[in-house]
Amino acid sequence: MFSFYLSDKLFDKDNEFSANPLGEHLVSSFGKSSKSASDAQLRDLGLSTGLSFWYLFDYGDELVHKVTVEEVREMTSKDIDLPNMLHQTGNAPPQYGNVEE
C-alpha cells in the first residue's frame, strides 16, 4: 500500500492520496478517508516547479521518500518514458527478500 501527501507534512490526511498494490483506492475505517491515488491525474494535482511532497511506500516498512517537482510542462510524443527519477540519495532498501517460486 502507498500514499502521497501533497503537503509538507507526512500523514496529512487532508492532502493524502492512497491505493493498494493493485492500484485500488483504500477506504479507511478509522477516521477520514484519503483521496484515490488511482483516480488522480498528475495534471489535476496543481503541481508546480519546486513543490515538495511525501511518498510513503509499504505501510509496514514505512519507506518514506521526499519528492520534489523539477519541471512541469506539456507532454509531447517524445515523452513516453516520463515521469522519471532525476536524483537519488543512498541505496534502495531490499524489498521482500528472496521469493521462492
Does the pTM surpass 0.85? The reply is no
What is the three-class DSSP state of 42?
A: helix
Nearest-angstrom CA–CA distance, 88 and 12: 24
Q: ∠ CA 67-61-17 to the nearest 5 degrees?
A: 45
Taking the domains of the chain in order of start, what are their residue ranges?
2-68
What is the three-class DSSP state of 43?
A: helix
| pLDDT at residue 70, rounded to an integer | 86
What confidence tens digit (pLDDT) does each residue in 46-78 have? Answer: 999 999 999 998 888 888 989 899 888 887 888
